[in-house]
Structure 1
Amino acid sequence: MNEIEYWYDTEYDEWERLERHKIEFDITKRFLNDFIKGENLEIFDIGGGPGRYAMYLAERGHRVTLLDLSKKNIEVAKRKSFEKGITLQGYIHGNALELEEFEPQYDVILLMGPLYHLIKKSDRRKAVEGAIKLLKPNGIIIVTFISSYAPIQDNLLHLYPIDFVEDLLGYLENGENKEGKGFTTAYFINPNEAKEFMNSHGLQEVTFAGIENILGCKEKEINLLDESEYRKWIEIGYRLSTDESLIGTSQHLLYIGSKA
């Protein structure tokens, strides 16, 4: 946890990441729009970084609390929300594995980040179980994963030099990314494994999607399109995101489930 916190505090600008990865941001927001039903909901954004999604949902009239492992991200969230004239219900420096102090009062929980960095399945399970306990009955949880195909997709997007083909394909077997390999410690998961893992928690699956799908390898070009053409591609990407034949082409996977 200290290594991961240090990465986000000193090495990485998470706010700017979603400026570069607009496709991920905009398609994810489409899912939030379509599956977060109701008004003035209590939402807990666990591991929400500098609060881009938290602020988006607060702008839509919900009461959103943000928690993140990185002190820097929390400070950025405070500053950016002030600049936007948005007030979140809380800005908490905390750990997704330590949720015992919070009350089960939330209509929606976002867990869109913590599972990227939990190598042990037991820790991933603890984070999900802890989040589910905080949901009201029939509340929904929205979880994201990094796909085990993501390193291949990223290298294809940028055409980075490949040192060893076996290393790149190795993520499909192991999934573990060690510190210093272009990212901090992370776990990249097979799409079927991610779906089965979430359904093993007694949730009612609402949807499972590959966020970027076929748009990912043309991200740079799509980002440069005029707004009208860009929006057409976002619509295509959104409609294809739940096509089971294409889910493995995404860097990020999204699961939405309901607490039965």
Structure 2
Amino acid sequence: MTDDTVLALPPEILAYYSRGEEEGRLQRGANRLEFWRTQDVLRRLLGPAPLRVLDVGGGAGVHAAWLAADGHRVDLVDPVPLHVERASRLPGVRARLGDARDLPADDAGYDAVLLLGPLYHLTGRAERVRALAEARRAVRPGGRVIVATINRFAGLHDQLRAERYFEPGRRALTDACAASGLLSPGAEDELFTTAYFHRAGDVPPEFADAGLAVTGQYGLEGAAWLMGPVNDWLDDPQRREAVLAALRSTESEPSLLGVSGHLLTAGERHRD
């Protein structure tokens, strides 16, 4: 993989992540709920170490760090040079530049492939299926592919919760995303960048087109992320554990999958 691949990343997405703010986002405030729930689900799905894990679009290594600490052998691929530079400092993590749609990985070289961000920013269905097909190629037969998506109405729910939905410009942007799934913020909007928000039921067909069999879907935050006191709950170890247990009990309830801000979909490569 050459540095030319990085140029394929839309400039506004590269600029957004090159600000360096993503590195600590999941370890601050209410965002910790997404982090802890992702960690909880992944540990159960992956099973005991050591596994060969490819973390695609792994950013500065927020998940690669604990995966390596758990004993897994972790390779991280990301299209943002700043992320790769920072992830390469982590013990037990090998990081390199690369694109989810054209992975610098051998065929069947990994026990598990994680895409915990790339599908957020691949706005065309063909691009997303290509990234999933690349993950299928890189994982061994019977191995796991686990993908994160943003739920279609996450923006609407979040803007209502934050009381920004009542601003006319913000409402128009939010409603357009809820209708089409495509978020196209203006250059002056610093909240997020170009992205695609899935309906939960749209993910399995993309897996199928890439040759992957879905084995489960897991809503990460449930409705808890929309509740005002959630940050205080997370600060209290006993209440935090109660929240995590409650979310675990409802994580795959079909009627609640779309309420979460984020969804994990797990699949596997059929044995050849």
Q: What residue in structure 2 maps to residue 177 of structure 1? A: 183
1:34 maps onto 2:44 in alignment: yes
Cα distance change on mapping 1:48 and 1:26 into 2, 3 Å: same
Percent identity between the aligned chains? Answer: 30
> Deviations along 1:10-59, whole A, 9 cap, x unmatched?
2x511221013111111111111111024311100000111111111111
1:47 maps onto 2:57 in alignment: yes
Question: Which residue identity is paired with 2:100?
Answer: A
Stretches of structure 2 lacking an aligned partner (at least 5 in a row): 1-8
Q: What residue in structure 2 maps to residue 15 of structure 1? A: 23
Q: Would the aligned equivalents of 2:150 and 2:263 in 1 still touch at CA under 8 Å?
A: yes
Give the superposition deviation at 1:188.
Answer: 0.9
* Equivalent of residue 186 in structure 1, options 177, 192, 195: 195
> Deviations along 1:175-218, whole A, 9 cap, x unmatched?
11114353211111111112332233332322112211111102
Q: What residue in structure 2 maps to residue 255 of structure 1? A: 265
Q: What residue in structure 2 maps to residue 215 of structure 1? A: 224
Q: Pairwise mapping of residues 134-213 of structure 1 onto structure 2 (< 5 A)?
A: 134-164=138-168, 165=171, 167-180=173-186, 181=189, 182-213=191-222
Secondary structure of the residue aligned to 1:172 is: helix
Q: Which moved more, 1:130-139 or 1:171-180?
A: 171-180
Q: Would the aligned equivalents of 1:210 and 1:246 in 2 still touch at CA under 8 Å?
A: yes
Give the superposition deviation at 1:167.
Answer: 4.1
Q: Would the aligned equivalents of 1:119 and 1:176 in 2 still touch at CA under 8 Å?
A: yes
Question: Which residue identity is paired with 1:253?
Answer: L
Question: Which residue identity is paired with 2:120?
Answer: Y
Cα distance change on mapping 1:94 and 1:202 into 2, 3 Å: closer
Q: Would the aligned equivalents of 1:172 and 1:190 in 2 still touch at CA under 8 Å?
A: no
TM-score normalised by length of structure 2: 0.87
Give the superposition deviation at 1:129.
Answer: 0.5
Question: Which residue identity is paired with 1:113?
Answer: G
Cα distance change on mapping 1:38 and 1:101 into 2, 3 Å: closer
Matched residue count:
252
> Deviations along 1:203-251, whole A, 9 cap, x unmatched?
2322112211111102x62222311111110111122111111111111
Question: Which residue identity is paired with 1:76?
Answer: R
> Deviations along 1:145-170, whole A, 9 cap, x unmatched?
11111111211232224334554233
Secondary structure of the residue aligned to 2:178 is: coil
> Deviations along 1:114-169, whole A, 9 cap, x unmatched?
11001111111111101110110100000011111111121123222433455423
Cα distance in 1 for partners of 2:114, 2:225 equals 23
> Deviations along 1:64-109, whole A, 9 cap, x unmatched?
0011111111222234x2xxxx221x21122112215534210000
Stretches of structure 1 lacking an aligned partner (at least 5 in a row): none
Q: Would the aligned equivalents of 2:136 and 2:211 in 1 still touch at CA under 8 Å?
A: no
Question: Which residue identity is paired with 1:123?
Answer: E
Cα distance in 1 for partners of 2:77, 2:244 equals 29
Q: Would the aligned equivalents of 1:223 and 1:230 in 2 still touch at CA under 8 Å?
A: no
RMSD: 1.8
Cα distance change on mapping 1:58 and 1:24 into 2, 3 Å: same
Cα distance in 2 for partners of 1:6, 1:135 equals 31
Question: Which residue identity is paired with 2:230?
Answer: I
Cα distance in 2 for partners of 1:195, 1:202 equals 11
